[in-house]
A and B are shown apart, each in its own frame.
Chain A
């Protein structure tokens, strides 16, 4: 037990179990097979977008743009495939490239033109959705392609594809952060940009890379969003950035950078989706749900800020000598 508590996964996992139990106690429908498989589909897009958001947060930045980027990219996707007549695969490639390019814009503004990421991506949040509304007179585009829905609802070896995407992408992200030099540099830059610079790390390039990857994961999210509803719409992805940031933060990522484990982000995404699901099942109106999500984010960031105090209280309770509860996971 003690050994489990010392792993970096303990906190987020406990939070997840507590939330799931609480929801299961309030409604019988939570544990129905239909609801659970629906949960998997729901969490997949948020979880994938949250990979990129986590990368940016690990470097000490923040990305507020993926929700709007998704709206823009689903529109571009629908247009190129339905109106432009491109094959589906080519459309996917266009979206992934464009998403990466938009991430590049965020990254250049932040890392090279030194505008704080909060501002650049807040501007992008506004601008990307604005551009999305410029296509097709601001109307959604339905019935993009008869084959598109298979990308989301299909199965491989009886495993729903979204689950498959999540596992593969998280495995890749985990390996990247743990076993590559750029991955290590992301944590180094978030830990201390000055020390990183003096250790020969190109700090700006690392920040740029994080935004680039955030653009890529948002683009993957956009493809899945379009596939799920076989459409593109400038209204997709509203609030997605908040869910993705919440996933990272509930997963224990520090908003001051340098600390966090990508595997915990998926636990955080599950937690926030289960909360939303529980509120839905209990017929809580959307307005109140938004308030709850806001409160959860504040609480999660608070736990990060009060880490030292909480750690002291915990070590006092368990009377465990010496061992610090917070540990680097790299």
Chain B
């Protein structure tokens, strides 16, 4: 491999803080032409912040960005693009109603006589760029009519047409099928061989191992394994990403033998198939799998948001087939949604109305609300769950992430829910708040509730679950005890490979 002595792009000791949180702590990264560089780390390890600094969206608090050894400042994304850095985010920056060619040359359409768009040349140029990528997409096609995979190729074509020397790809395969991934990888290898630098971010470790030439691994905002040192090997990578497991998980075991919920062969129009499992009282049933494997879709089915087109469910031994959230709630199911901000909280309310909202009928007869009843119930739950007492007066938007999450759980306790579905309950909250959420799991299970824990944080899933179901491509492919799994086998299983049973000491 042609490693040049001077890096094409280099981040030198870059530090970025947000308020009191250090998102990147003296991170260095050297990117060479003709190399595919993997950037890995768990959620919250600082990958996104680093990419945003590199593409001009953030300014580093300290440290430098070097281009060919010379310091440069990238004040905004436009400057970064002009300097040759193209970023392909998960959310595409394409205009769906325009043609492929127009998108490729968006913002710098080729002109004729100074002000007329030269359509012929634009289409020709677009065709040539697509040809260098060896893909067959009609430059005249409307982007919105293309598949996600092809839209992504258009995004890459856009980068190539702008003569980008470095291409950053953030989770490019999250929405792709296996063949599409293979095609993308082939393309990236071709671009590498043309001498471009590629920075590749992905959660799917197995494919990263196949693709990249070097990896930098981040953990808690720092480089835990620099490129010169990293071995491109699954177990090494996982070890560097995760570090020592298990110290901050206050797991208690309360599982009983009594089955609370049972799903038999569930299928929905939303891509899930053959999902069978049961949840006992006092048990945390973990649902693992990569993004898009169908974990959230299982939660939707349970909560009556997607109709079942196959299979059946039972709650407390009774048939359970909710037609919508109201029925699911009445039956005693609670959903703590993945996106706390958009789907969980009412930012126009203080704490108590947020707690009572799912069971207003408990606050008084004939649709009335007795504010005194609400206040008493609210204070009780605030005390029970150790929520800050200021939640009574303050809008929930001003509370910490941990307190917000507890308020959503309090809502369901007030609604007398028995089966709690928690979708990514610790996403985006700090470690102290995470531990508070884990304690909350213990409280729920100690009270005989059943919990379904959906999490992309593999350590959390392994540490806090009593049993783990693994989702892959919409199917539940296996149920294991946590001690039969480790992070590596969990990742392997959820990406489609068969988990090897190994005992973790």
Are A and B co-members of a single complex?
A: yes
Question: Which A positions have Cβ atoms within 8 angstroms of B?
Answer: 178-185, 187-188, 190-192, 194-202, 254, 257-259, 324, 326-328, 330
Known: A192-B343, A200-B329. A184 touches B357 (CB 8 A): yes
Cβ B360 vs Cβ A184 within 8 A: yes
Pick the contact of B346 from A188, A200, A254 — CB < 8 Å? A188
Pick the contact of A326 from B345, B346, B395 — CB < 8 Å? B395
> Distance (Å) between the CB of A187 and the closest chain B CB?
6
On chain A, the residues within 8 Å of B328 by CB distance are: 200
On chain A, the residues within 8 Å of B364 by CB distance are: 179
Cβ A200 vs Cβ B358 within 8 A: yes
A199 to B349 Cα, complex, angstroms: 14
Cβ B368 vs Cβ A192 within 8 A: no
Cβ A181 vs Cβ B363 within 8 A: yes
Inter-chain CB contacts under 8 Å: number: 91
Question: Which B positions have Cβ atoms within 8 angstroms of A?
Answer: 303, 325-326, 328-330, 335, 337, 342-350, 353, 357-358, 360-361, 363-364, 367-371, 393-395, 398, 411
> Distance (Å) between the CB of A93 and the closest chain B CB?
24
> Distance (Å) between the CB of B124 and the closest chain A CB?
42
> Distance (Å) between the CB of A166 and the closest chain B CB?
24
On chain B, the residues within 8 Å of A185 by CB distance are: 360
21 contacts between A and B (CB under 8 A): A179-B364, A179-B371, A181-B363, A181-B369, A184-B360, A187-B348, A187-B349, A188-B346, A191-B346, A191-B349, A192-B343, A194-B342, A198-B303, A198-B343, A199-B325, A200-B326, A258-B346, A258-B347, A327-B393, A328-B348, A330-B353
A196 to B356 Cα, complex, angstroms: 12
A200 to B303 Cα, complex, angstroms: 10
Cβ B368 vs Cβ A191 within 8 A: no
User: Which chain A residue has the least Cβ–Cβ distance from B342?
Assistant: A194
Cβ A195 vs Cβ B398 within 8 A: no
Known: A181-B360, A202-B326, A327-B350. 6 other contacts (CB 8 A): A187-B349, A191-B347, A198-B344, A200-B330, A201-B326, A258-B348
A194 to B364 Cα, complex, angstroms: 25
User: Which chain B residue has the least Cβ–Cβ distance from A182?
Assistant: B367
> Distance (Å) between the CB of B96 and the closest chain A CB?
20
Cβ A199 vs Cβ B358 within 8 A: yes
User: Which chain A residue has the least Cβ–Cβ distance from B351?
Assistant: A328
Pick the contact of A179 from B330, B347, B369 — CB < 8 Å? B369
Known: A185-B360, A326-B395. A192 touches B342 (CB 8 A): yes
Cβ B325 vs Cβ A200 within 8 A: yes
Cβ A324 vs Cβ B358 within 8 A: no
Cβ B343 vs Cβ A191 within 8 A: no
Across chains A and B, which 9 residue pairs bring their CB atoms closest together, nearest first? Answer: A258-B348, A191-B348, A181-B360, A191-B346, A200-B329, A199-B358, A200-B326, A181-B367, A194-B343
On chain A, the residues within 8 Å of B345 by CB distance are: 192, 195
> Distance (Å) between the CB of B360 and the closest chain A CB?
4
> Distance (Å) between the CB of A283 and the closest chain B CB?
43
Cβ B325 vs Cβ A192 within 8 A: no
On chain A, the residues within 8 Å of B303 by CB distance are: 198
Give the residue among B329, B343, B350 with the most A Cβ atoms within 10 A: B343
User: Which chain A residue has the least Cβ–Cβ distance from B411?
Assistant: A199
Cβ A180 vs Cβ B369 within 8 A: yes
Known: A181-B361, A198-B343, A199-B357. A259 touches B369 (CB 8 A): no
User: Which chain B residue has the least Cβ–Cβ distance from A190?
Assistant: B348
On chain B, the residues within 8 Å of A198 by CB distance are: 303, 325, 335, 337, 343-344
Cβ B395 vs Cβ A327 within 8 A: yes
On chain B, the residues within 8 Å of A192 by CB distance are: 342-343, 345-347
Give the residue among A192, A200, A254, A258 with the most B Cβ atoms within 10 A: A200
A6 to B208 Cα, complex, angstroms: 56
On chain A, the residues within 8 Å of B398 by CB distance are: 324
> Distance (Å) between the CB of B378 and the closest chain A CB?
13
> Distance (Å) between the CB of B334 and the closest chain A CB?
10
Give the residue among A185, A197, A199, A326 with the most B Cβ atoms within 10 A: A199
Give the residue among B329, B357, B367 with the most A Cβ atoms within 10 A: B357
Cβ A324 vs Cβ B346 within 8 A: no
On chain A, the residues within 8 Å of B357 by CB distance are: 184, 188, 196, 199, 201
On chain A, the residues within 8 Å of B370 by CB distance are: 179
On chain B, the residues within 8 Å of A181 by CB distance are: 360-361, 363, 367-369
User: Which chain B residue has the least Cβ–Cβ distance from A257?
Assistant: B348
A163 to B303 Cα, complex, angstroms: 49
Cβ A195 vs Cβ B344 within 8 A: yes
